[in-house]
Amino acid sequence: MAEFTYPGQYITEKSSGIRLPQSVSTSIGCVIGIFPKGEVGSPQLVTSYEEFKSLFYAPQDLNSLRQVRGFFDEGGGSLYVIRVENDTLAAATVALRTDGEYTLSASAKSKGAWANSVSVKVTGQAVASSASMEAVLIEGLHVNVLTSDGWEVGQRLFKNVSGTRTYLGKLSVITRTSTGVKLTFAAPSAAAIGQGDIIEAAGAFVEVIDSLGNVVESYEKVTFEEGTKGYYRVKINAVSQYIQLSEAGTLPSTTIANYSYVHAQGTATSKILVSGSDGTYDKQSFLDAVANVLPQITTLANVFSCLEDSSLVDADHQDIYNAITVQCELSKRYMNLVQVSLAAENISRAATMATAGGIIDFRNGLVSSRFSVVYQGYVEAYNEISKTMDICPATGHIAGIWSRISTNVGYWQVPAGVEANFRTTNKVSWSLTDNQQGVLNPLSINAVRFFSGYGLLVWGARTLSNNTDFRYISDSLTFNFVEQTILSSNLWAVFKPNNSALWSEIGINLDLFLTSQWRAGALRGDSKSEAFFVNFGKDVTSEYDILQGIVNIEVGLATQKPGEFVHYTISPKVNL
């Protein structure tokens, strides 16, 4: 409230009370799998296949790489990547220089065997230098040079006379003068500096070379003195996609004095990284990633898993999928895209759907949940190693289709039907007949099928929920969207006075938000009252609730239901 002190006019600005919620995204994907390289222990967000390749790709024949490519090729835009870790996963490393107790080492940016053929080349290079004919005069603790280019406090300086270098000391102060720049040493040597001598600050030129001999990264004027612009931890470690440099121990003073603590200027040493290991993956590797890394994602995410790149059996697949479902139920943010294994599919194809170990058995090993969706059918995808088309799980492609439809139409449109077509492949491992799918559909097993004239389509829209309110994917996606939008946009209401003004403000804002969703087509009904309700006030928040600090707001939604069965009745027309 304004404080009135003088006679005159006052203006007070007042909020309208309208706080329209900021909608959350329903098109983000998440992949859990084995990848050749990349960060472990935290989900990494990428927004293109090119970005994914720069962080996680190396030439290995993995289904996970084809599934991720399928996600982006089919229309996916943003993807969280969770790289599964194991106890014996190790980074490649090499000692670039060892001198007494001192070691300068290079290690791979991330763990795995991918970097075992990568080499690091270090060439001595002056990061700053005075011109050979420049006036250089000794002034006790100082040296005068003409320009300040490249000089930094902390650099180690040397005198260069016809290629012979003598250590001068560490640069401690840079002072501009009327004739140039004065360099002051922290611990000057007794070496005399004559007219025309060259003064240099030592550093290195670092190159990273892949297994084909291509220079994939290079860094000029790298320094090893903390605080300088070229300091390797900033110039290399913070940006390199391949290596990290590290030092251990103390560099001997004689090494510094001999200008050999990096390499003599112009000379180079190249070392190959070794001892990187991919380790061995098992079910626990995936379960650890699901329990410890997946919950770090705080947005909505459609999760697909890459389980075929390890020696897991169907029971392991089911346990991993069920663990993901648990995280979905706890967070109410994730959807779990489950792939019926190829082994189960082949058993049913050779016998019946109900044959032991077949598709129905696989589904029966999964827990029921509105957050889980099961798909049958592997699809052909391009293998970048063999340059051939190989089959791989379809869930990566399907997650991309989910994202495409959510972006182009809306989260309320089930990702199935002619709009849910595969853009990059036209072949499926087993395209079911109507009667075959008629056995699986009541069990909420969705299919990937080929239709002449339409191509390969996602043909099924059911979740694994036992609750008919959440039979369809659109039911779950709508509730996920509305719930997370409300939670992310209404934190302002916490600790406000619990009275009718607060209830009305919350209720009005929710009404406006849901009205906008109804008008967009997300909710079913010819009027607002048919599409949703928002109840607030004393009817839902009692005096007892107020004393307990509770505000109750009730929201009801009429979600869009897909036309799963289109029935035509056709009869003869007789003209009498």
CA atoms within 13 A on the CB side of 550: 11
- The tens digit of pLDDT for each residue in 495-507 reads 999 999 999 999 9
Average pLDDT over residues 413-441: 97
26-40 pLDDT per residue, tens: 999 999 999 999 999
> SS in 3 state form for 251-303?
CCHHHHHCCCCCCCECCEEEEECECCECCCCCHHHHHHHHHHCHHHCCCCEEE
Output the pLDDT for position 130.
Answer: 79
Select, from the ranges 143-157, 257-271, 470-484, the one with the highest average predicted confidence (pLDDT). Answer: 470-484
- Average pLDDT, integer, range 275-288: 96
**Residue 49 has what pLDDT?**
97
Task: Inform me whether the pLDDT recorded for 256 exceeds 60.
Answer: yes
Whole-angstrom Cα distance, residue 413 to residue 363? Answer: 25
pTM for the complete prediction?
A: 0.89
How far is 315 from 302, CA to CA, in rounded Å?
23
Reported as a pLDDT band with limits 50, 70 and 90, residue 1 is low
What pLDDT score does 135 carry?
47
- Which pair of tokens denotes residue 233? 């931890």
- Sketch the domain layout of the chain as residue ranges: 29-87+280-474, 93-272, 494-576
- Label residue 225 by pLDDT band (50, 70, 90): confident
Q: State the average pLDDT over residues 325-348.
A: 97
CB contact burial 72-108 (16+ within 10 A = b; e otherwise): bbbbbbbbbbbbbbbeebbbbbbebbebeeeebbbbb
pLDDT digits (tens, 9 = 90+) for 108-149: 999 999 999 899 999 888 888 876 445 455 555 677 777 778
E-strand ranges in 452-527 read 455-459
The domain 29-87+280-474 is classified under which CATH number: 3.40.50.11780, 3.40.640.10, 3.30.70.980, 3.40.140.10?
Answer: 3.40.50.11780
What is the overall mean pLDDT for the chain? 91
Count CB neighbours of 344 within 10 A.
24
